[in-house]
């Protein structure tokens, strides 16, 4: 017997009842949950090297046998923390790589304070990243490693590969900006706000900002990111949270993302100036004018095979800014993969799990 | 009211009290009194009093003439006079008398040993007012954006009212989509970008003005300042940088290749060749 269609009043009452019930269920879930239960970056690992605030982790293997001979070092950037790559058990690039038989290392740049304001790109590439690479090379008795850079970490990795080509066996870049002026190339209104925003600032504005705070405050970058998706920002703590009340796993995933988002380290001041002025504003990397100390970063000197992964709906690093790498590097072994999803979504969304990790490992196996 | 009328009115303002003083002093004068007009001065005290009266009259005339001078330069117009006495201009940041006074002091001559801390405090005050102005300007841009978003939302609701029913969820989704699209569009406008830039710059400038005040206090109370600590940290970072690179240049690795050895040696040589470079003893 078909159900009777409700009147408008009946429908309204039913909806209101559903809403109240959802709210009550959510309240009960939230009351039960403690912050200690919301853990991220829990894959088993050990500290193998430290230098100042930089920490190098080696992850405990989970696969019965190794499928890629040379270890992979995952280098995140300084806008956010590497823990996003291991958000939770079923949303973790690192765990996916481990399960596929890869020996995984990850570098954590730490939490810069005012004392770190004078650190530059050169310090991160020539010293911290280079020393992590040296440690892995010595530990495994290999001349070169597989380097996987993410976002600004991809820029570090690219610079490292250009300056120390002998130390990089294969280079994997994910959501990495190369040409910072290609943000409007696809004409998508919601894309490339950071590029527009930095181009609207004068060099002096940026220098005053850094002088006033010492570093580029993590809170400021959080605010800029929030601005990029106004609808999502407005609805996150009401409608967004409400949508998770039906499913405890969904709620925990939401809370884990919140934990990662809240952990927004400051960006060391001098390095931030290089990022915003030399790269975002002046686009020196793609023009071959970006310098680390007295050396020019020549992308043509990158001779390692490259896998360049981008997210098709990435509003923070629009695809064209990443794809620009193709004609600039010295290697002929260049592969691009465009994945469905956004900037962080390619790492943490349910749909993308396994896709990125498998794509990387399949590519590495042939090299 | 014309400027000429204003000037003559102001002149009367000074001339009339002056005439009153003349009359008063004449009436109070021994010479001026009925009894004293025809008679000679009677004593030294009276003579001195008479001198004081004349000196006072001359001084009054001189000051009256001096006070009239500015009237022939910038004469406040009736609108400016109205604004001067308007309470609104005292409370809002803008072209009020307080801002003018601040500006006048801060742009005026500086003295070697006077008013330095006061100047810093007033610069901070000016910075705060500037920040308030820029925040208000930014909020004005955002207000327009929200108004536009609401107009679009209202149109969408009216246009899309198929069977006349909207669930709360559909309404919410429609509002979020409309607001998202509108705000993203506004973010790309020059008005928004410039308003945000100015607001950010005003905030940075104010923070640095705060620091200058704090450092003035620190110096007076024998406390290291932010700038001094920053400078110290900079020297430490540069020294460590040099030390690391020199150490690396001296180390050998089994995996040294011509590429990276040459690079390290070249950098180490460049460091050693720099004027003032210290030799590493590590």
Asked if B103 is an interface residue toward chain A (Cβ–Cβ < 8 A), one would say: no
Q: Select from A190, A208, A234 the Cβ nearest to the Cβ of B204.
A: A208
**Among this protein's residues, is A159 annotated catalytic?**
no
> Are B280 and B243 in contact, with CB atoms under 8 Å apart?
yes
User: Is the dihedral angle over the CA atoms A122, A124, A128, A134 positive or is it negative?
Assistant: negative
The answer for residues whose C-beta is within 8 angstroms of residue B36's C-beta and 6 or more apart is B29, B30
C-alpha dist (Å) from residue A67 to A72, A121, A188: 12, 33, 40
Instruction: Say yes or no for a CB contact (<8 Å) between B260 and A166.
Output: yes
Give the H or E element holding residue A19.
helix A8-32
Q: Select from A119, A163, A234 the Cβ nearest to the Cβ of B263.
A: A163
Structure tokens at B158: 């009216």
Spell B185-212 as b/e; 16+ CB within 10 A means b.
ebbeeeebbebbbbbbbbbbbbbbbbbb
DSSP helix/strand/coil, B58 = helix
Residue B272 has pLDDT above 70, yes or no: no
Q: Read off the pLDDT of residues A46-63 as tens digits, 9 standing for 90 and up.
A: 999 999 999 999 999 999
In the predicted model, what is the mean pLDDT of chain A?
93
Per-residue confidence (pLDDT) for residue B225, from 0 to 100:
95
A132, A137, A151, A159: which one is catalytic?
Answer: A151
Determine the residue of chain B that is closest to A229 in CA distance: B180
Q: Predicted confidence band at B22 (pLDDT cuts at 50, 70, 90)? A: confident
Neighbours of A251 (CB within 10 A): 20
Instruction: Say yes or no for a CB contact (<8 Å) between A212 and B211.
Output: yes
Q: Read off the pLDDT of residues A270-322 as tens digits, 9 standing for 90 and up.
A: 999 999 999 999 999 999 999 998 899 999 999 999 999 999 999 999 999 99
> Are A175 and A341 in contact, with CB atoms under 8 Å apart?
no
Instruction: Choose the weakest-confidence range: A16-20, B24-28, B89-93.
Output: B89-93
Spell A334-360 as b/e; 16+ CB within 10 A means b.
beebbbebbbbbbbbbeebbebbbebb
Per-residue confidence (pLDDT) for residue B279, from 0 to 100:
43
DSSP string, A210-243: HHHHSSB-HHHHHHHHHHHSHHHHHHIIIIIHHT
Q: Predicted confidence band at A16 (pLDDT cuts at 50, 70, 90)? A: confident
C-alpha dist (Å) from residue B84 to A28, A149, B90, B99, B199: 60, 62, 8, 12, 28
Per-residue confidence (pLDDT) for residue A1, from 0 to 100:
47
A312/A338 Cα distance (integer angstroms): 6
Q: Read off the pLDDT of residues B37-60 as tens digits, 9 standing for 90 and up.
A: 445 555 888 888 888 888 888 888
Nearest to A67 by CA among A31, A103, A29: A103
φ, ψ (nearest 5 deg) of residue B183: -65, -40
Give the H or E element holding residue B46.
helix B44-68
Per-residue confidence (pLDDT) for residue A366, from 0 to 100:
80
Q: Select from A118, A122, A208 the Cβ nearest to the Cβ of B205.
A: A208
Q: Read off the pLDDT of residues B149-198 as tens digits, 9 standing for 90 and up.
A: 999 999 988 886 556 667 788 888 999 999 999 999 999 999 999 999 99
Residues from chain B contacting residue A117 (CB–CB below 8 Å): 230, 233
The distance from CA B46 to its chain's CA centroid, rounded to whole angstroms, is 57
**Residues present in chain B in total:** 282
Residue A21 has pLDDT above 70, yes or no: yes
Q: Predicted confidence band at B91 (pLDDT cuts at 50, 70, 90)? A: low
> Are B186 and B146 in contact, with CB atoms under 8 Å apart?
no
Residues from chain B contacting residue A237 (CB–CB below 8 Å): none
Instruction: Say yes or no for a CB contact (<8 Å) between A119 and B237.
Output: yes
Alpha-carbon dihedral B214, B215, B216, B218, rounded to 10 degrees: 90
Instruction: Say yes or no for a CB contact (<8 Å) between B270 and A196.
Output: no
A212/B209 Cα distance (integer angstroms): 9
Instruction: Say yes or no for a CB contact (<8 Å) between B188 and A118.
Output: no
Structure tokens at B100: 């003018």
Residue B32 has pLDDT above 70, yes or no: no
Instruction: Choose the weakest-confidence range: A184-188, A238-242, B98-102.
Output: B98-102
On the 0-12 / 13-18 / 19+ scale of CB atoms within 10 A, B275 is exposed
Per-residue confidence (pLDDT) for residue B8, from 0 to 100:
66
Per-residue confidence (pLDDT) for residue B235, from 0 to 100:
96
Alpha helix (H) ranges present in B160-251?
168-187, 190-220, 226-250
Instruction: Say yes or no for a CB contact (<8 Å) between A15 and B255.
Output: no
Instruction: Choose the weakest-confidence range: A180-194, A337-351, B155-169.
Output: B155-169
Per-residue confidence (pLDDT) for residue B278, from 0 to 100:
45
């Amino acid at each position: 017997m078909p159900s009777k269609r409700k009147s408008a009043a009946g429908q309204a009452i039913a909806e209101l009842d559903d809403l109240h019930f959802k709210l009550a269920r959510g309240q009960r879930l939230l009351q039960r949950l403690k912050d200690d239960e919301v853990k991220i970056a829990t894959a088993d690992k050990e500290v193998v090297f430290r230098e100042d605030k930089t920490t190098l982790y080696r992850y405990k293997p989970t696969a019965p046998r190794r499928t890629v001979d040379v270890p992979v070092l995952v280098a995140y950037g300084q806008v956010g923390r590497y823990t996003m790559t291991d958000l939770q058990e079923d949303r973790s690039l690192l765990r996916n790589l481990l399960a596929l038989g890869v020996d995984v290392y990850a570098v954590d740049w730490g939490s810069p304070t005012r004392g770190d304001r004078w650190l530059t790109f050169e310090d991160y590439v020539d010293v911290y990243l280079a020393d992590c690479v040296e440690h892995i090379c010595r530990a495994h008795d290999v001349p070169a490693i597989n380097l996987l850079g993410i976002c600004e970490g991809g820029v570090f990795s690219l610079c490292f590969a250009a300056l120390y080509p002998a130390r990089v066996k294969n280079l994997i870049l994910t959501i990495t900006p190369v040409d910072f002026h290609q943000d409007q190339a696809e004409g998508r209104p919601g894309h490339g706000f950071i590029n527009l925003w930095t181009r609207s600032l004068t060099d002096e504005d940026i220098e005053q900002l850094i002088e006033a705070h010492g570093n580029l405050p993590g809170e400021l970058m959080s605010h800029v990111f929030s601005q990029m998706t106004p609808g999502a920002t407005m609805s996150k703590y009401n409608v967004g949270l409400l949508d998770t009340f039906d499913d405890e796993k969904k709620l925990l995933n939401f809370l884990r993302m919140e934990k990662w988002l809240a952990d927004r380290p400051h960006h060391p001041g001098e390095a931030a100036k290089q990022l915003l002025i030399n790269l975002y504003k002046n686009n020196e990397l793609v023009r071959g004018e970006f310098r680390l100390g007295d050396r020019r970063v020549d992308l043509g000197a990158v001779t390692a095979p490259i896998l360049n992964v981008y997210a098709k709906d990435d509003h923070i690093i629009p695809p064209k800014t990443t794809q620009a790498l193709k004609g600039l590097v010295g290697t002929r072994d260049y592969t691009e993969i465009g994945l469905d999803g956004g900037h962080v979504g390619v790492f943490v969304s349910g749909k993308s799990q396994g896709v990125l990790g498998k794509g990387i490992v399949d590519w590495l196996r042939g090299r | 009211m014309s400027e000429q009328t204003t000037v003559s009115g102001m002149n009367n303002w000074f001339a009339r009290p002056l005439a009153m003083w003349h009359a008063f002093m004449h009436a109070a004068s021994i010479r001026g009194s009925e009894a004293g007009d025809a008679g000679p001065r009677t004593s030294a005290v009276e003579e001195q009093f008479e001198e004081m009266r004349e000196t006072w009259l001359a001084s009054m005339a001189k000051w009256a003439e001096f006070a009239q001078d500015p009237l022939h330069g910038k004469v406040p117009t009736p609108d400016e006079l109205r604004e001067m006495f308007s309470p609104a201009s005292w409370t809002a940041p803008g072209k009020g008398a307080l801002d003018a006074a601040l500006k006048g002091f801060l742009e005026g001559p500086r003295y070697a040993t006077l008013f330095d801390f006061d100047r810093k405090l007033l610069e901070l005050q000016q910075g705060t007012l500037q920040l308030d102005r820029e925040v208000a300007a930014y909020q004005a841009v955002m207000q327009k954006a929200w108004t536009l978003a609401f107009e679009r939302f209202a149109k969408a609701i009216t246009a899309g009212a198929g069977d006349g029913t909207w669930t709360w969820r559909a309404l919410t989704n429609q509002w979020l989509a409309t607001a998202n699209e509108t705000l993203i569009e506004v973010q790309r406008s020059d008005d928004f970008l410039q308003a945000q830039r100015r607001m950010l710059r005003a905030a940075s400038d104010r923070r640095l003005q705060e620091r200058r005040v704090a450092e003035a206090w620190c110096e007076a109370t024998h406390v290291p300042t932010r700038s001094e600590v920053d400078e110290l940290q900079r020297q430490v970072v540069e020294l460590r940088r040099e030390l690391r690179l020199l150490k690396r240049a001296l180390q050998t690795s089994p995996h040294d290749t011509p590429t990276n050895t040459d690079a390290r040696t070249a950098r180490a040589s460049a460091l050693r060749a720099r004027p003032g470079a210290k030799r590493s003893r590590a």
